[in-house]
Structure 1
Amino acid sequence: MSSGLCLRVLRGSGSAPAASSGSWSRFLSRSGARRGLSGSNSGTMNVFNREMKKRQKNWAGSLQDGQQYDYLRDEVGSRVADRVYDIARTFPLALDLGGGKGHIAEHLSQEVVERLFLTDGSEETLQRRKSEIPTRCVLADEEFLPFKENTFDLVVSSLSLHWINDLPGALKQIHQVLKPDGVFIGAMVGGETLYELRCSLQLAETEREGGFSPHVSPYTAVTDLGNLLGRAGFTMLTVDIDEVQVHYPGIIEVMTDLQGMGESNCAWNRRSLLHRDTILAAAAIYKEMYGSEDGSVPATFEILYMIGWKPHESQAKPAKRGSATASFGDLSKISQPTNSNKS
């Protein structure tokens, strides 16, 4: 079941070491070498340019007024935090995967998470973190986790996994670094996100240039997410979807905010140049097809939420097949009152 949120933009234009506030670790060398658990394999599709995504996030993190672009990350981060609070336990050590500025951590208290490791591939973003929990920042690629197995009681992630090339491998690594009976709670962009922008650009390019190329990243379908979590080894799965709709003055503001979020397309097959005539045509199509009465245009983000547990003997297990003591046919007899009850 999905719920909706409407935001309106008003601008016109083993054990781990003890975490301590302000501490840093670096797991990416300048040459690009990576260390840690690897869930990748030679058959993985290389869809995204991860180096370009890191540059985009570094640029966005360096903006002096970058907080004005954090509205979506803050909203989704608060919803992930709500799901953490729904679990009635305290987590001694947690990992925020691709946490950036700490959009989840700022909504958590030390009563729920005692210590936190915050990872991201962008150093500029990590330097602007927001957290009252004792936090250790780790500069690391989400595709190569530099942690030992069975380390964390909780792993959270918000709006980062949709840029990973090997999502099945990343989920397996998350499963590995969790302790038994540990839980993973994540959120990622998926489904038909930004379909308004995608359709407008495709129609405009087809009209002006005789064909179109992808300008919006491909996204994971919600129907695939449960299978991916199950294949990674998670149990007691929960997958749901939220729809967040943000209203902008026009298409230029949509694209400007995506750039300010560090969410510009980084697929290898993207087209780096958009002609001015194409942009103007796309803006007109956007307003004509999706515009509101007040002149604004919507951008829809489908947010996929997932919860999965690492198996443990203490967890409830489904009954064995054939162990039932009653059939569905008996239920109708049980539910219907007898003649004596009627009298």
Structure 2
Amino acid sequence: MDNRAPPRIFSRQRRKAGFRRALVRQSQRDAARYVVDDMVEDVLDRLEFMRFEPARVLVIGDWTGTLALSLRGRRSQVEEANVRTLDEERPLDGGPYDLIVSLASLGRVNDLPGALLHLRSALAEGGMLIASLIGAGSLANLRRAMIAAEPDRPAARMHPLVDNAAASALMQRALFKRQVVDSRSLEVAFRSLDRLVSDLRDQGLTSSLANAAPPLGKAALENARAAFLTARNDQDRVLENFEILTLTGWKD
């Protein structure tokens, strides 16, 4: 067995700081929240389609509280995990749960296989995990702009992302049964790079890489802004895509 520690790609401290900032920004009336809203709606649609009515539920990552409110309306007993203090790479307290939902959270843990194993261990027999995360293929225009910002010495500024095949393999490795991984696209239009970055900050989706790159200088930032706008359509908007992966698996 390979007992080596997983590489440290992400910083829990930077991740928590991003969430704290997002909660403050959400007090503003026009703060963006479309990524988590899309994930919440998708989870509710899946549960309705499957006619699954869990008695005990753990919700991770829904800082809007919408999912928990909806599930309580369906008479589920719901616990909400504080993503600023929860360490998904350790065994979870509580449980067993009939359903665990993780929203936009698992994509930034260093030991994703271990986190999935801990989530499975916290499920009751016959329980289900639904985990949504931003997957590979997302934010292509932003990635291109970051490369154009400093073409001679590009720095890592964006997260590595999980693709469908890797997610399926991880679910199998974590011993989930009847596991399914699917994806969908959430397309959002932006007038500028600054607006996209602001939306990401609103939603706690900015970088939490352990080795943080230095801030872009003025010239590099202008390069990035100009490169981003080269993808404008005839409505003077840049269409950016969030590829949402949803991992579903059962503990049988």
Scaled by the length of structure 1, the TM-score of the pair is: 0.69
- State whether residues 88 and 118 of structure 2, in contact with CA within 8 Å, keep that contact through their aligned partners in structure 1: no
**What is the CA–CA distance in structure 2 between the aligned matches of 1:44 and 1:214, rounded to whole Å?**
19
- Where does 1:1-343 land on structure 2 (aligned, <5 Å)? 42-63=4-25, 64-65=27-28, 68-111=31-74, 113-122=75-84, 139-148=85-94, 151-206=96-151, 210-288=152-230, 290-311=231-252
Q: Secondary structure of the residue that 2:178 maps to in structure 1?
A: strand
Q: Give, in angstroms, the shift of residue 96 of structure 1.
A: 0.7
Unaligned runs of 5+ in 2: none
State, as a whole percentage, how many aligned pairs show the same letter. Answer: 25
Moved more, 263-272 or 163-172: 263-272
Q: Give, in angstroms, the shift of residue 255 of structure 1.
A: 0.8
Deviations 1:21-45 (A, max 9, x none): xxxxxxxxxxxxxxxxxxxx64211
Unaligned runs of 5+ in 1: 1-40, 123-138, 312-343
Structure number with greater CO (CA < 8 Å, separation at least 6) is 2
**What is the CA–CA distance in structure 2 between the aligned matches of 1:272 and 1:70, rounded to whole Å?**
27
**What is the CA–CA distance in structure 2 between the aligned matches of 1:163 and 1:140, rounded to whole Å?**
13
Deviations 1:192-240 (A, max 9, x none): 111110111102311xxx2201111111111111110111110111111
Deviations 1:76-98 (A, max 9, x none): 21112211222223211011122
Q: Give, in angstroms, the shift of residue 295 of structure 1.
A: 1.2
Q: Give, in angstroms, the shift of residue 296 of structure 1.
A: 1.3
- State whether residues 47 and 53 of structure 2, in contact with CA within 8 Å, keep that contact through their aligned partners in structure 1: no
**What is the CA–CA distance in structure 2 between the aligned matches of 1:270 and 1:295, rounded to whole Å?**
32
**What is the CA–CA distance in structure 2 between the aligned matches of 1:277 and 1:114, rounded to whole Å?**
53
Moved more, 212-221 or 94-103: 94-103
Q: Secondary structure of the residue that 1:104 maps to in structure 2?
A: helix
**What is the CA–CA distance in structure 2 between the aligned matches of 1:239 and 1:270, rounded to whole Å?**
31
Show structure 1 runs of 4+ deviating over 4 A: none
In the alignment, residue 5 of structure 2 is paired with which amino acid? Answer: G
In the alignment, residue 168 of structure 1 is paired with which amino acid? Answer: P
- State whether residues 98 and 142 of structure 1, in contact with CA within 8 Å, keep that contact through their aligned partners in structure 2: no
Structure label with greater radius of gyration: 1
Number of matched pairs: 249
**What is the CA–CA distance in structure 2 between the aligned matches of 1:275 and 1:73, rounded to whole Å?**
31
In the alignment, residue 187 of structure 1 is paired with which amino acid? Answer: S
- State whether residues 213 and 270 of structure 1, in contact with CA within 8 Å, keep that contact through their aligned partners in structure 2: no
